[in-house]
Amino acid sequence: MVIKPRLKGGLALTNHPIGAKEFVKRQIDYVKSQDKYEGPKKVLIIGSSSGYGLATRISLAFGAGAETIGVAFEKGVEGKRVGSAGWWNTIAFNEAAEKEGLVSKNFIGDAFSMEMKDDVIKFIKEEFGGKIDLLIYSLASGVRTDPIDGITYRSALKSTTKEITGPTINFEKETMEETTMGVATPEEIKSTVKVMGGEDWKLWIEALDKGGVLSEGFKTVAYSYLGPKVTYGIYKEGTIGAAKRDLEHTSDILNDFLKEKYNGEAYVSLSKALMTRASAVIPIFPLYAALLYKVMKEKGIHEGTIEQKHRLLTQMVYGNNPVIDEERRLRPDNWEMREDVQEEVEALWDKVTPENFKQISDYAGARAEFMQLNGFDFDNVDYDADVDLDELAKLVP
């Protein structure tokens, strides 16, 4: 089977398993090119198969020698369906970790369920040394079934104040087009907070604490994003913003609890704007990212996902150079939010049109990053080669 990219707006409908291996390899190569660092030895990553979570796992494993457990909801080969990008990323990570003698374990399923929490705790107790030093919460999902009330909630990418119309990039059509985001109902706001807020993060910590598997000095970090003024309507003032405020409130609650019981810490980390499977479908964001990439690359301060997360871990979470704001949030987005960077991005934003967006932004770089998330656009992968799905189907994370 020859696998070619198929897109629908900001969604990739196909993924390339060989490209996924290259995607993971390049991140590992970056970490290996950097100095080793002292970090945690036993790590649990919720949302480990792509984006921020995958990059974090790679940094911790290949930079600090950590043993890792990954939890993710992904699908493998089903008939002619080649499987999800995260499925192949996880397999590629496993293969590389095994070659290095690094312990890695994966749980594929619903991270929101109590059954998953129980299974992970049982594994930690029986096969993972009994304790973990770090939990990273990097879950991106549009749907969550609350394990307490059994109700399934769906998030909504909407405004909480007024209808917002703005430009975005359609990667399928390679065009810049107007998109409109409606106003959320109170129920939609509540549902988005239930899915994307801090409730499940807190349930994980409570379950791990009750299970007796948290070490002295335990840390936990949840990933979030704030962004600049041009994205405030979506992030700060949108349903996502309501969920992120709940996440930050949860961070404070967890920090107080962990500090008292384990001399531990809990933080929200605000990430730099990057193309991820989740962010690619958020209105306005892809165009902002393309403009930002251009400015930051010209200034020599652009970071991809692995560079961003490696800096966060080596300098802030396990280093001596933390950047923490007045709301107690880690700020590895500090280069993005520099005044000179944002001034230049805003100037480009005022000039960008459907006719010139490819020229005045780093559209090529943003699109390549988006395609590579799904295993495409690598110059050393033969995309005309036949892929044996029957053989691939034998591989499991």
Answer yes or no: are the C-beta atoms of 70 and 43 closer than 8 Å: no
Does residue 31 surpass a pLDDT of 80?
Answer: yes
Fold observed for domain 7-378+387-394 = Rossmann fold (3.40.50)
Query: How many percent of the chain have pLDDT more than 70?
Result: 100
Measured distance CA(157)–CA(363) in Å, rounded: 24
* Band of residue 98 on the pLDDT scale cut at 50, 70, 90: very high
* pLDDT for res 145: 97
Measured distance CA(358)–CA(336) in Å, rounded: 21
Task: Please choose, from the candidates 377, 395, 380, 379, the residue with its C-alpha nearest in 3D space to the C-alpha of residue 14.
Answer: 377
* pLDDT for res 230: 80
Q: Which positions make up the binding site for substrate?
A: 225
Q: What is the pLDDT of residues 174-226, one digit of tens each?
A: 999 998 889 999 999 999 999 999 999 999 999 999 999 999 999 999 999 88
Q: Tokens 């499940």 identify what position?
A: 200
* Band of residue 228 on the pLDDT scale cut at 50, 70, 90: confident
Average pLDDT over residues 10-23: 93
Answer yes or no: are the C-beta atoms of 130 and 218 closer than 8 Å: no
Contacts of 140 (CB under 8 A, 6+ apart): 47, 51, 276, 277, 278
Q: Which positions make up the binding site?
A: 47-52, 73-74, 110-111, 139-140, 225, 244, 274-276
* Band of residue 80 on the pLDDT scale cut at 50, 70, 90: confident
Measured distance CA(278)–CA(245) in Å, rounded: 19
* pLDDT for res 4: 93
Per-residue 3-state assignment (H helix, E strand, C coil) for 214-229 = EEEEEEEEEEECCCCH
Instruction: Give the phi and the psi of residue 5 in degrees, each rounded to 5.
Output: -70, 135
Answer yes or no: are the C-beta atoms of 83 and 76 closer than 8 Å: yes
* pLDDT for res 368: 94
DSSP letters spanning 277-331? TTGGGSTTHHHHHHHHHHHHHHTT----HHHHHHHIIIIIISSS---B-TTSEE-
DSSP state of 70: E
Task: Please choose, from the candidates 321, 231, 329, the residue with its C-alpha nearest in 3D space to the C-alpha of residue 284.
Answer: 231
Q: Which positions make up the binding site for NAD(+)?
A: 47-52, 73-74, 110-111, 139-140, 244, 274-276
* pLDDT for res 237: 82
Measured distance CA(184)–CA(157) in Å, rounded: 8
Q: What is the pLDDT of residues 50-74, one digit of tens each?
A: 999 999 999 999 999 999 999 999 9
Q: What is the pLDDT of residues 289-304, one digit of tens each?
A: 999 999 999 999 999 9
Measured distance CA(40)–CA(56) in Å, rounded: 12
Q: Which residues are catalytic?
A: 235
Torsion of CA 56, 373, 138, 135, to 10 degrees: -30
Instruction: Please report which residue ranges of 137-265 form alpha helices under DSSP H.
Output: 186-196, 199-210, 239-262
Q: What is the pLDDT of residues 291-340, one digit of tens each?
A: 999 999 999 999 999 999 999 999 999 999 899 999 999 999 999 999 99
* Band of residue 236 on the pLDDT scale cut at 50, 70, 90: confident
Does residue 285 surpass a pLDDT of 80?
Answer: yes
Average pLDDT over residues 123-130: 98
Answer yes or no: are the C-beta atoms of 276 and 304 closer than 8 Å: no
Radius of gyration (Cα) for the chain, nearest Å? 20
* Band of residue 134 on the pLDDT scale cut at 50, 70, 90: very high
Does residue 277 surpass a pLDDT of 90?
Answer: no
**Mean pLDDT, rounded, of the chain:** 94
Measured distance CA(168)–CA(10) in Å, rounded: 10
Q: What is the pLDDT of residues 163-180, one digit of tens each?
A: 888 899 999 999 999 988
Q: Tokens 């961003």 identify what position?
A: 308
